[in-house]
Amino acid sequence: MIQIKVFIEPQVKNFKINKTNLEKLIRSVLHHHNYKNAILSFVFSPYEILNKLKIKFFKIDSITDVIAFNLNEKNELLEGEIYISPDIAKENSKKFNNSFEDEIKRLIIHGTLHLIGYLDHNKVEKSKMNSVENKFIKLDTLKVVS
């Protein structure tokens, strides 16, 4: 059974997400990768929170749009938390000439792919990950941002 929880921190103003459509998007990504069981939490936070998490857990002081924490042990149920900054997503949508909707979807998918095991440490890994993200963004017609 796939359980998906969505949290929007109070400091994130004017951001609403369609939880049903977010779940459908994640289920399609997980199904494609043969996952039938997962517990995922999505936390939409200000970028300052993500920055603090990046410093604390990765010892890197940089602004980021998504951080994924894998909470499961090997051979156990896929379980994780994905932190997303709508503020940075909005900036990136302008920077990369994408819609805000697609940028949020990309971050949702990106964080999920990290939990599945995708890496993006070099150009080849980034390209592969980006290709999978694009595939699901193009296939998905669901509106996740309200």
Would you say residue 72 lies in a domain?
yes
Structure tokens at 86: 């709508």
Angle, in degrees to the nearest 10, between helices 19-32 and 123-139: 120
Task: Please check the confidence at residue 146 and state whether its pLDDT lies above 80.
Answer: no
Query: Residue 49: which CATH number?
Result: 3.40.390.30
Would you say residue 146 lies in a domain?
no
Residue-wise pLDDT for 77-102, tens only, equals: 899 999 999 999 999 999 999 999 99
Backbone angles phi, psi at 20, to 5 degrees: -65, -45
Tokens 């924490």 correspond to 69
**pTM for the full predicted model:** 0.94
DSSP 17: B
Would you say residue 67 lies in a domain?
yes
Sheet holding 78-84, edge to edge: 2-8, 38-44, 78-84, 66-70
Would you say residue 62 lies in a domain?
yes
Would you say residue 84 lies in a domain?
yes
Residue-wise pLDDT for 111-134, tens only, equals: 999 999 999 999 999 999 999 999
pLDDT of 76 reads 76
Its domain, for residue 18, covers 2-139
As a whole number of Å, the end-to-end CA separation of the chain is 26
What's the total number of domains in the chain? 1
Task: Return d(Cα 146, Cα 144) in angstroms, integer.
Answer: 6
Structure tokens at 87: 């503020």
